[in-house]
Structure 1
């Protein structure tokens, strides 16, 4: 389990959508400070929210952030991107950049802050995946989330040596800007964030935020045809 009361937390992509919900839930659970990052951060009215610039695909940007906040207890890798069209409809360079942001971005941040977490007694890393880690048919975005799931599982093994809890978060459509135009049932970001807070406090390794996610997780034991998004 990870103590949240009094903690200093980093939430990448923390000024909008699910990231903002994470920040609010962590403050409600007693976090002292939440560092919220964005490519172009906006001022915050709550002094407990500290906006900072970050581009997760830029090594120098990640290094600067680690120098700015050397006191983090919990890291939430929430920042991400998407691109339209399938794998055959995008240049390889576009797919590579998406993987750089969604997968290697989380790795860069985790590498930079793992020593900080070790000095603070272990802490936690939270990586935001998707039901698309397991469900096929969504092009490069789904590939990136599947890769991030694998990355998280390997990081969990490596970070266990320093007592760092690693939580993988899987969720279906959630009411954020990324899917706002889609006319489908959506999760409330506040509910997802509350489940993540509970997982941190209980010491859990995985959050399956909704029924569609639990369905696809169970389908992993069946034929691969059952993993296609309708």
Structure 2
């Protein structure tokens, strides 16, 4: 069973609201070390935190991080980007490619690079931060990439769990961070989200549905498309 006590954790996107909570709460649960990665890493006031530069869209950067941090036992794929505008046909080529590389390809390549090390480690785990929009296509390219990442997590789970690496997928709606500053309606506190995520890791759970939006979005997968997306309903003759 995975545990944070004594773990060596690597967090991508550690500078953001969720990432910062992941760093602090992993340490509070007994992690021996946390690699706090970001494209431009910041300083931390705890010697157990090791800042590392990481661009998940750059294979050379991934290789450098694996070489610098080969003792990782818990990998948290948290880094992500979103773009303004919900219409997938409205995004530029650059926005589409950057989203795919950051939200989908990057985490997959990072996990693939760490997989041989995690398989040899004890109490190893991978945590992938998805979104309720993995199941609800109203976020344009963001929804598409998160749906792809969800599928990747399912594939990784089937391959890694038999080798002793636990894999957790996390779904949540709006979280009270800078990325969601424009959004209206209820938002999950990053501290509450991360507490639920780490609880799930240590309980051996495979999936976290962190709010009502995520619960409803997953339930909607079994509904007719016209129910999930009322705009598709045909007018009554």
Q: Kindly state the Cα deviation for residue 219 of structure 1 after the two structures are TM-superposed.
A: 1.2
Does residue 68 of structure 2 align to residue 68 of structure 1?
Answer: yes
Which region of structure 1 is more displaced relative to structure 2, 140-149 or 117-126?
117-126
Q: How does 1:1-230 map to 2 (within 5 A)?
A: 1-85=1-85, 86-121=87-122, 123-228=124-229
Contact 1:136–1:229 (Cα < 8 Å) also in 2? no
Provide the C-alpha distance between the structure 1 equivalents of 2:215 and 2:174, rounded to a whole number of angstroms: 13
Superposed CA offset, 1:118-140 (max 9, x none): 12135000000000000121100
Superposed CA offset, 1:182-202 (max 9, x none): 232100001110011111111
Provide the C-alpha distance between the structure 1 equivalents of 2:181 and 2:171, rounded to a whole number of angstroms: 19
Which has the greater radius of gyration? 2
Superposed CA offset, 1:51-107 (max 9, x none): 110000000000000000010010000001111222111233431221111001110
Contact 2:76–2:126 (Cα < 8 Å) also in 1? yes
Closer/same/farther in 2, CA of residues 18 and 47 from structure 1, 3 Å limit: same
Provide the C-alpha distance between the structure 2 equivalents of 1:130 and 1:226, rounded to a whole number of angstroms: 20
Contact 2:127–2:169 (Cα < 8 Å) also in 1? yes
3-state SS of 1:89 partner:
coil
5+ residue gaps, structure 1, are none
Q: Kindly state the Cα deviation for residue 144 of structure 1 after the two structures are TM-superposed.
A: 0.6
- TM-score if structure 1 supplies the norm length? 0.96
Closer/same/farther in 2, CA of residues 223 and 118 from structure 1, 3 Å limit: same
- TM-score if structure 2 supplies the norm length? 0.93
Provide the C-alpha distance between the structure 2 equivalents of 1:111 and 1:26, rounded to a whole number of angstroms: 23
Q: Kindly state the Cα deviation for residue 225 of structure 1 after the two structures are TM-superposed.
A: 3.0
5+ residue gaps, structure 2, are 232-237
Contact 1:13–1:78 (Cα < 8 Å) also in 2? yes
3-state SS of 2:89 partner:
helix
Contact 2:174–2:183 (Cα < 8 Å) also in 1? no
> What is the total number of aligned residue pairs between the two structures?
230
Closer/same/farther in 2, CA of residues 227 and 47 from structure 1, 3 Å limit: farther
